[in-house]
Every structure is written in C-alpha cells, then in structure tokens.
Amino acid sequence: MARSPNGYRADSPEAPVYDEAHKAFLQAFFANSVFTFDALKPVIASILEAQDPARRRLPDDITEAMINSLVQNTNAKIAPFDFEIRSARDQIKGERTYALVNTASDTFTQLATSFTPDEIAYIKRLLDEMFETNNSRTREVMAVNQMRTKQLAKAPPRDRQSQAATQMEADKDPTEVDVSAKSITHADCDRVLQTLVSQGFFQRSKKFYYSLAPRGLLELRNYLKETYNEPLAEDDEEEEEPIVRIRDCEGCKEIVTVGQRCDNRDCGMRWHTRCANQYFGAQQDKRCPKCKTNWTGGTYVGEKADGRHKNSSTTGRNYGRQVPDEEEDEDEDAEGEDDD
C-alpha cells in the first residue's frame, strides 16, 4: 500500500501526520476559502494522485471520512496561527460546505479588504434586519427581501447614530454600526450584495430573499450569538428570561436559520427540516421533545415564516444579475426525508 515518505497512507482516512498532501489541501483553501463537498472531492483526488502517481484517483473515491481526517490533522497544524477549517451542512440541500476561517480576526476586519467602511456599515444593517427586525417571537424569518435591501442602503439619521454611539460607549461593544456611516447608492448596494453572494457569505433565493449562506454562518457563528443573544444581567429579576435569537438545531447542533420551530411560541426547540424528519421518522405521536406540544412541522424558520413570502416572487426582479438559487420550497420538504 502506497505511503508518503513520512508515513501517511494515501488511501486511508487515517492521517496521523502533516505531510505534503495536507499542505496542498491547505493551499487549496487559501486559494478558494470555501468548498462544497462535491467541489472538494476532485481537488483531494488530484492531491492524492500527485502523491502516488502509480494509483489513479477519481473524485468518487473520496469519502467524507477522508476529508474529515484531512481537516482534523490540518486544523491541528494551523490552530496556533489562528486558522481553522470549519464545516456545516447546507440547511436546505444538505450538502456539506467547508470554509477556512480566521479565528482571531473579526470578520468585518477581513471584509474591509473588499468593502469600504460605509459598505461594511450597510452589511451590519442587513444583519440587524435579519436577526433583530425579522427575527421575533412570532416570526423568525432571518432573511431580507430585495426591496428592503434597497431601503437599508440609506444610513440611519444622525440622532439615531448618536444614540448608537452612546450605547456603544456604555456597552464597550466595538461591533456597533459606525456612527459616521453614510448612505450608499443603490448601484453600490447591488454590487455589495452580488459580491457577498459570489464569496459565499450570502445566498439569494428564488423569492428574492437574502440570507446567510453556509460560509457566512461558519464565519459569523460566534458573532451572531454574542451580538443577538442577550443573557440576563446580574441585577435582573429572577422571573426575567434571557433573549435568545440565535438557536441551534436539536439534531445536528448547528445554527438554524431555515427549518422548523415548535408550535409553542414559548418553546426554544428548533430543527432543520431533514433533522426533524430523521428524529420523528415514522412516529405516530409526534411531540416536541422539550415541551411535549404536538409537533406539526408547519411552523417555519426562514423566509417561509414571512407572511409576504408567497406574494414576493416578483419583488426586485430587475435588481442585479441572477445568483445561485435555493431549492424550491417543495424540494426542501422532499429532501427532508434524506439522511442528514
């Protein structure tokens, strides 16, 4: 069985050392930052074939276990340099996505290489719209429709920015919107959104809703929970409860921005559709595992939770170029029967 000079077994999911294959694997991420599982398979096949030319490698030879092993051993090597390869499944399609993340640098600092300060302030307004305005107790949309993205191009009035500055000083929170932020043009708005989609941070659906794509969720995971979840202050009354806007799937433990929620509005149970279908399976008496309410699967998280969803298919049709679409709603429900 072919081995590299330092003992790495080229066709084994076990990779006890960091060798040339791992270096090439990491270089691929430095060049591209994000890969889907299917896109990564031919890359790894080429790497392993270059390592052992006598043995031909095909993309279908590459398994998720092999990729996970490469990721694990590469992460052990790059962790001291504040890098990590993270992965998550697409919440609708179920395909796994891998992204190289700088764990020390603020995501918005990284975005500064592609966007101006005013454009970054606009991106923060989009996130606030997704995870505060469009994420309430009764309506967890966590997306922004095309028309609203245009409205958010206008910076808030100066008095509101001054209030934000005062609150920022009180909270010592550097992630608040820049108080000197100016409005951006609609043309710049289109360009920013298209760039975010092309870089894998955002995705746009066929109903013209923008939401975080897998890479965005991987990069912003900690930021989202720290910014939009509000723990109890030490002096709060005992009967008060923390505000939790960002929740994890009960099944896979990854963030849910598209999926299902318990019909009991006071219950924090959330699932990705496919994870819920896996859990409930053929159960006759489907009940929430937390509060025991009947589980109908008809209370949604994501754009389907927006009452305007069914009437928004033509909204913003002339804004910008078409970008990769999400699956149709019926595809989401059908694919939920597949394994996670």
pLDDT digits over 135-175, tens only? 999 999 999 999 999 999 999 886 554 444 444 444 444 44
Query: What integer pLDDT is reported at residue 162 of this predicted model?
Result: 45
**DSSP reduced 3-state for 45:** helix
Q: In the chain, what are the domain boundaries?
A: 20-81, 109-335
Query: What integer pLDDT is reported at residue 16 of this predicted model?
Result: 54
Which residues fall within 8 angstroms of residue 233, CB to CB, at 6 or more apart? none
- The answer to whether the beta carbons of residues 304 and 331 sit under 8 Å apart is no
Query: Which H or E run includes 25?
Result: helix 20-32
Query: What integer pLDDT is reported at residue 112 of this predicted model?
Result: 83
Q: Which parts of the chain have pLDDT scores under 50?
A: 1-15, 161-177, 312-328, 330-340
Nearest to 107 by CA among 165, 160, 162, 33: 33
Query: What integer pLDDT is reported at residue 310 of this predicted model?
Result: 56
Taking domain 109-335, whether its CATH number is 2.60.40.1180 is answered by: no
In terms of phi and psi (left: phi > 0; alpha: psi -120 to 50; beta: otherwise), the region of 13 is alpha
Over the chain, what is the mean pLDDT?
A: 83
Q: Cα(first)–Cα(last) distance of the chain, in Å?
A: 33
Query: What integer pLDDT is reported at residue 231 of this predicted model?
Result: 84
Nearest to 242 by CA among 253, 251, 233, 255: 233
Provide the β-strand partners of residue 98: 35, 87
Query: What integer pLDDT is reported at residue 17 of this predicted model?
Result: 80
